[in-house]
Amino acid sequence: MRDHVIAELTKIAQKDQRVYLMTGDLGYAVLDDFRKKCPKNYINVGIAEQNMTALAAGMAREGNIVFTYSIGNFPTLRCIEQIRNDVCYHHANVKILAVGGGMVYGNQGITHHATEDIAMMRAIPNMRVYVPGDAYEAVQCLKEAYETNGPAYIRLSRNKEEVFHDENEKIDINQIVPFGVLGQDVNIFTAGPVLCEGVKLKKLLTEKGYNVGLFSVPRIKPIDNEGIVDAAKHSKLLISMEEHQISGGLGGTISEVISSIVGIHAPLLRTGLHDEFSEQTGSQEYLRDYYGITAEKVSIQVEKFFSDNQ
Give the whole-angstrom CA distance, residue 256 versus residue 253. 5
pLDDT band at 82 (very low <50, low <70, confident <90, very high): very high
Least confident of 88-97, 106-115, 188-197: 106-115
pTM of the model: 0.96
Give the whole-angstrom CA distance, residue 116 versus residue 273. 10
Task: Indicate if the pLDDT at residue 159 is higher than 70.
Answer: no
pLDDT band at 160 (very low <50, low <70, confident <90, very high): confident
pLDDT at 2: 92
Average pLDDT, the chain: 95
Please compute the mean of the pLDDT values over residues 111-138 and round it to a whole number.
96
Task: Indicate if the pLDDT at residue 258 is higher than 80.
Answer: yes
Please compute the mean of the pLDDT values over residues 185-195 and round it to a whole number.
97
CB 132 within 8 A of CB 105: no
pLDDT at 28: 80
Task: Indicate if the pLDDT at residue 297 is higher than 90.
Answer: yes
Please compute the mean of the pLDDT values over residues 16-33 and round it to a whole number.
93
pLDDT band at 167 (very low <50, low <70, confident <90, very high): confident
- What residue ranges define each of the domains in the chain, with the CATH number in brackets? 2-156 (3.40.50.970), 177-308 (3.40.50.920)
Task: Indicate if the pLDDT at residue 310 is higher than 90.
Answer: no
Enumerate long-range contacts of 279-283, CB under 8 Å, 24 or more apart.
Answer: 279/110, 281/106, 281/107, 281/108, 281/109, 282/106, 282/107, 283/106, 283/107
Strands 128-130 and 219-221, by their bridges, are antiparallel
Give the whole-angstrom CA distance, residue 42 versus residue 56. 12
Query: What's the pLDDT tens digit per position in 208-222?
Result: 999 999 999 999 999
Query: What's the pLDDT tens digit per position in 225-238?
Result: 999 999 999 999 99
Please compute the mean of the pLDDT values over residues 153-175 and round it to a whole number.
90
User: For residues 159 and 83, which has the higher predicted lDDT (pLDDT)?
Assistant: 83
Give the whole-angstrom CA distance, residue 248 versus residue 112. 19
